[in-house]
Structure 1
Amino acid sequence: MSTGVIRPMMGRDSQFFWDGTAAGELRIQKCNACGVLRFPPGPACPECHAFDRGHVVAAGTGTVFSYVVHRYPPVPGKELPIVIALVDLDEGVRMVGEVVDAVSDSGADVEIEIGMRLRVDYRTIDDELTLPFWRKA
């Protein structure tokens, strides 16, 4: 099971999200009491404080709100540089994720900008982990 990838924390508040990525779905937590969407997921609604959680399946599209190009230090399982973006999902929540195909082969040029449209894709790491990532729409 050693894949060289930094594994995310998985718990009862986020398991629905990871079950979704394994199924090819980008799931966002929804309060069943008041309908508010939230990411990252948590135990209680930030609006009405209810513990009645559910989820919706997102379209998997959004826009770049902000980004960084990570060049150093090394990241286990990644070839640098990598682009990490804060993505405004069309559903109204923000999510952090890696953007692939945004760096030239030489690593010198970055092809990403604020407002760029992105779509989610998935990479299966092993039987227990499928990670979402982003690419140009």
Structure 2
Amino acid sequence: MVSHVIAGLEPVSTVARRPRRAVDRDSQFFAEGLTRGLILIQRCGGCGRLRHPPQPICSHCRSFEWDTVEASGRGSIYTFAVHHAPPLPGFSIPFVIVLVELEEGVRMIGDLVGNSTDAALKIGAPVTAAIMADEGDNMLLVRWRLDGATA
């Protein structure tokens, strides 16, 4: 961590923060669920379809009614990318971004954490969610671990 001192002011932390997740009335349930250790997914009150990311209206039946279901936190890698450049705030390069298809059928994006070999990183590999705080400001994030990987 780097800090700077400006005459007359206390040191200020310059820990890089990741981009912020937008939280509005349609997605607030997701952020609140993370604080309780849950990954919540919207379920349409009209047709019962699950959807993620959160939306105010069902794209299938156009219903405004919805509730939530708890996700298992398990899925498989649908696709991935290894980011080498340019540097991004809050990330050490290189890092892996995965699009995970959850057991429930919706897809969720996040970064891959833990020690993994290139051979283990492949489409279809099983992963498990880890709800972790961002080091920059403790915002909770859904991150992913390859099954069998260690931190």
Match of 2:10 in 1: none
Match of 1:130 in 2: 140
CA separation in 2, counterparts of 1:110 and 1:42?
Answer: 36
Letter matched to residue 146 of structure 2 = K
How many aligned residue pairs are there?
Answer: 132
Per the alignment, do residues 43 and 2 of structure 1 end up closer, same or farther by CA in structure 2, a change over 3 Å counting?
farther
Cα-to-partner distance string for 1:48-100 (whole Å, 9 max, x where unaligned): 11111111000000000110000101110111111001101000011111111
DSSP-derived class of the 1:72 partner: coil
CA separation in 2, counterparts of 1:3 and 1:53?
Answer: 38
DSSP-derived class of the 1:86 partner: strand
State TM-score, norm by structure 1.
0.88
DSSP-derived class of the 2:43 partner: strand
Structure 1 residue corresponding to 2:129, chosen from 112, 120, 124: 120
- Mapped contact 1:87–1:96 kept (Cα < 8 A): yes
Unaligned stretches of 5+ residues in structure 1: none
CA separation in 1, counterparts of 2:86 and 2:115?
Answer: 19
The answer on 1:4 being equivalent to 2:16 is yes
Shift of 1:23: 1.2
- Mapped contact 1:102–1:112 kept (Cα < 8 A): no
What are the within-5 Å matches in structure 2 for residues 35-50 of structure 1? Answer: 35-50=48-63
Q: Give RMSD over aligned pairs.
A: 1.9
Q: After the TM superposition, which segments of 4 or more aligned residues of structure 1 sit over 6 Å from their partners?
A: none
State TM-score, norm by structure 2.
0.80
- Mapped contact 2:30–2:39 kept (Cα < 8 A): yes
CA separation in 2, counterparts of 1:135 and 1:75?
Answer: 21
- Mapped contact 1:67–1:84 kept (Cα < 8 A): yes
Shift of 1:102: 4.9
Unaligned stretches of 5+ residues in structure 2: 1-12
Per the alignment, do residues 36 and 2 of structure 1 end up closer, same or farther by CA in structure 2, a change over 3 Å counting?
farther
Bigger-Rg structure (1/2): 2
Cα-to-partner distance string for 1:89-116 (whole Å, 9 max, x where unaligned): 0000111111112556xxxx57410110
